Amino acid sequence: PDFYAHNAAGYSFSSNDFGASNAHNNMPGANFPSDDDHHGADGRMGKPNNKATAIQQQVDEVVDIMNDNVKKITDRQERLNQLGDKTSALQETSSRFRKEAKTAHRNMWWQNKRLTIIIAIIVIIIIVVIV
């Protein structure tokens, strides 16, 4: 049987156009399946179709895995962006906290010094009054 196909330009050609035949089945000691062995009773392809289906299933699985990986990469990128935003906010908050802590420390130091000076003045006044 001739095999007819169309190439990308739309031209039809047959396997006989390229010198192909079933001559390989006539070789001594050769046990090649005939072209008819691949066709079932309904004229459709048999084993090669099963192989094509299996390969298509594998391709579909790989495509699903790749789509899942792309989704995971996108989700990861979103989380990294969120983490970067949180890091920036935390850095800004820590800088503000450091400045406020220095200001509070300075204020407490001055308050402690004022209290020490007031106590010293009161002690001096008491000593002057007693003496």
CB 40 within 8 A of CB 46: yes
Predicted confidence band at 48 (pLDDT cuts at 50, 70, 90)?
A: low
Closest Cα partner for 15 from 35, 30, 41? 35
Question: What does the pLDDT read at residue 23?
Answer: 45
Distance from C-alpha of 39 to C-alpha of 31, rounded to nearest angstrom: 18
Residue 131 has pLDDT above 90, yes or no: no
Distance from C-alpha of 79 to C-alpha of 72, rounded to nearest angstrom: 10
Greater pLDDT, 97 or 3: 97
pLDDT, one tens digit per residue, over 60-110 is: 999 999 999 999 999 999 999 999 999 999 999 999 999 999 999 999 999
Question: What does the pLDDT read at residue 49?
Answer: 82
CB 35 within 8 A of CB 1: yes
Place of tokens 């031209």: 11
Q: Is the dihedral of CA 123, 124, 125, 131 positive or negative?
A: positive
Question: What does the pLDDT read at residue 111?
Answer: 96
Alpha helices by DSSP H, listed for the chain, are 47-130
Q: Does the predicted TM-score (pTM) go above 0.85? A: no
DSSP 8-class letter at 27:
S
Share of residues in the chain with pLDDT > 70 (%): 63
